[in-house]
């Protein structure tokens, strides 16, 4: 029996409430951390879509930021990334320049559509929800890919938080340019 099999069996035996802590603590299975993190992204994207679809025009950013902070914190905890105080805030502040312009332009257009009574409100809500889910998913999935790469490069050990921030900014820029 190898280390991977031991991790798999342990996950089956550990109570559901303790599985997240076990996932974060173990270093052998980066793929397990990745799978758990995808679930966090899916939940955050659903929440972002639902809340953005029903919010008042031009307020989507205020609703999305707490959801995205929670998502990033959840992924960070799942990977067991050792971070200094304020890491999440630094991470989000550094990527806001990358995502900020992209989202601001979309939010302005959608906000204007939402101002039209009836059809505009419905169409704007649908567009707003889809945009919020897409941006949240791009952010979360890109963060997962960066952590997976950095943890793999470090043989399961926690990477330097500044390297994570820089790699995330770079990957997000590339993804947004490719659209």
Residue 3 lies in a domain: no
Domain hosting 67: range is 30-178
Residue 6 lies in a domain: no
Residue 114 lies in a domain: yes
Domain count, the chain: 1
Residue 2 lies in a domain: no
d(CA 116, CA 145): 40
The single residue listed with the structure tokens 């999935």 is 141
Say what the pTM is: 0.73
Q: For each of the chain's 179 residues, which pLDDT tens digit applies? A: 555 565 565 556 566 666 566 555 555 578 888 999 999 999 999 999 888 777 565 556 677 888 988 999 999 989 988 777 788 878 877 777 666 655 554 554 555 455 555 555 555 566 777 888 888 999 999 999 999 999 989 888 889 999 999 999 899 888 777 75
The single residue listed with the structure tokens 């397990």 is 32
The single residue listed with the structure tokens 């342990």 is 10
């Amino acid at each position: 029996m190898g280390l991977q099999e031991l991790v798999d069996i342990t996950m089956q035996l550990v109570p559901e409430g303790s599985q997240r802590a076990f996932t974060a603590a173990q270093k052998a299975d980066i793929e397990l951390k990745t799978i758990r993190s995808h679930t966090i992204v899916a939940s955050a994207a659903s929440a972002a879509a639902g809340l953005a679809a029903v919010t008042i025009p031009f307020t989507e950013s205020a609703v999305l930021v707490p959801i995205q902070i929670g998502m990033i914190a959840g992924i960070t905890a799942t990977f067991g990334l050792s971070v200094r105080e304020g890491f999440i805030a630094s991470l989000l502040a550094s990527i806001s320049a990358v995502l900020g312009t992209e989202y601001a332009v979309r939010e302005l257009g959608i906000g204007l559509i939402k101002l039209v009574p009836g059809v505009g409100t419905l169409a704007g809500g649908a567009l707003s929800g889809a945009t919020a889910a897409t941006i949240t998913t791009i952010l979360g999935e890109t963060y997962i890919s960066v952590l997976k790469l950095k943890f793999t490069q470090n043989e399961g050990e926690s990477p330097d938080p500044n390297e994570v921030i820089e790699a995330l900014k770079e990957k997000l820029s590339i993804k947004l340019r490719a659209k």
